[in-house]
Amino acid sequence: MTSIPQAPSFAVVSGLAVRTVLAGRERAVVDLIEAAYRLHGGGETTNPPSYFLRFPDQPANRIIALPASVGGDVNTAGIKWISSFPANVANGLPRASAVLILNDLTTGYPYACLESSVISAVRTAASAALAAVRMAGKRQARGRVGFFGTGLIARYIHQYLAALDWPFEEISVFDASAERARAFGAYLEDASGRPVHQAADPEELIRGSDLVAFATTAAAPHVCEPSWFNHHPLVLNVSLRDLSPEVLLESVNILDDVEHCLKADTSPHLVEQRTGNRDFIDGTLYDVLTGALAVPEDRTVVFSPFGLGVLDLALGAFVHEESRKSGDLAVIDGFFSELDAGHVGRR
């Protein structure tokens, strides 16, 4: 006998609950993110273009909607609604805030709302760490890491690299705010047990690092000199807008998703606009994971991840399920109050 679908309950998962679920599970999260990339590359996801809500009187601010669905074991649809207000940082608040809605694929009903700034930061860091491990080659052994930008994302990238046993032989940091750079350096010294170098300028940071992680709020390219990369580092272009087209045109370019990265004036998008083609793109992270693309040691490699909604869904579904198992879901009784489809006019 076929069961009749029922409207699911609706739950709220707080940021504290999200952090509780994810604490100490970095390796499992990286595996989950890799699995999501493989589902995406294998055609088992739907990831429409993100929608950017902008404000004419606040050009620096935006709110982005990322709808998606994921098949496989995740089997969930949903949307992330994430804001970026850079001025928050000066006021002591994180730049980004977000929620994630999960939808049941049988009825279409939403069944959870999760605080998603942590989910977004974690999936970004796990993606970056996964790419670093799979692409670094001999660069990893040299252990010279530079963090350009010192906010929440940079902290999570360090956490996830450390969980994957990245050898931090030398650590350098640079930020437009010297105060934030010093605070992040102190955090890294406590976390790694190693001294952290405060780079005097971007050139010093880049030339002294074999792995460079960009995690800034830059709205336009400001690193424009290809010669700074002559030692051929691996660059995690997480913030997407720091590097000029000149730098990318001298590099091997690997994206997480071509169509998504080539929009909104990201650095790869600027290259496409300048050249009129996509010949500068060498492949995707999926190509690396499947062995279809070998990453060279003798050229600078830039990984540009736009940040796919399918990653948020995969991680959010995991957090929801773990919260359910532990009994920590905050279920909202009566959230769906009109559940009788009715038969108006029938007798």
pLDDT digits (tens, 9 = 90+) for 206-223: 999 999 999 998 989 999
Q: Please check the confidence at residue 347 and state whether its pLDDT lies above 50.
A: no
Q: What is the pTM of this model?
A: 0.92
Strands (E) across the chain are located at 11-13, 45-46, 51-55, 58-70, 76-84, 96-103, 110-115, 144-148, 170-174, 196-198, 211-214, 234-237, 252-255, 281-284, 301-304, 330-331
Whose CA is closest to 37, among 260, 322, 251?
260
With cut-offs at 50, 70 and 90, classify the pLDDT of residue 175: very high
Which structural domains are found in the chain, ordered by start?
11-119+309-331 (3.30.1780.10), 131-304 (3.40.50.720)
* 53/141 Cα distance (integer angstroms): 42
Q: Tell me what pLDDT residue 2 has.
A: 54
With cut-offs at 50, 70 and 90, classify the pLDDT of residue 242: very high
Q: Please check the confidence at residue 161 and state whether its pLDDT lies above 80.
A: yes
* 122/135 Cα distance (integer angstroms): 20
Give the range among 11-20, 90-99, 273-282 with minimum mean pLDDT: 90-99
* 248/3 Cα distance (integer angstroms): 55
Q: Tell me what pLDDT residue 1 has.
A: 47
- Express the helix, strand and coil content of the chain in percent, nearest 5 each: 40, 25, 40
What is the percentage of the chain residues whose pLDDT exceeds 70?
96
Q: What is the mean predicted confidence (pLDDT) over 292-311?
A: 96
Q: Please check the confidence at residue 30 and state whether its pLDDT lies above 70.
A: yes
Q: Tell me what pLDDT residue 346 has.
A: 45
The mean of the pLDDT values for the chain is 93
Instruction: Pick the more confident residue, 173 or 327.
Output: 173
Q: Please check the confidence at residue 329 and state whether its pLDDT lies above 60.
A: yes
Q: Tell me what pLDDT residue 345 has.
A: 46
Q: Tell me what pLDDT residue 4 has.
A: 59
Q: Please check the confidence at residue 52 and state whether its pLDDT lies above 80.
A: yes
Whose CA is closest to 329, among 165, 134, 113, 153?
113
Q: Tell me what pLDDT residue 8 has.
A: 75
Instruction: Pick the more confident residue, 229 or 2.
Output: 229
Q: Tell me what pLDDT residue 145 has.
A: 97
Q: What is the pLDDT of residues 99-114, one digit of tens each?
A: 999 999 999 999 999 9
Q: Please check the confidence at residue 265 and state whether its pLDDT lies above 90.
A: yes
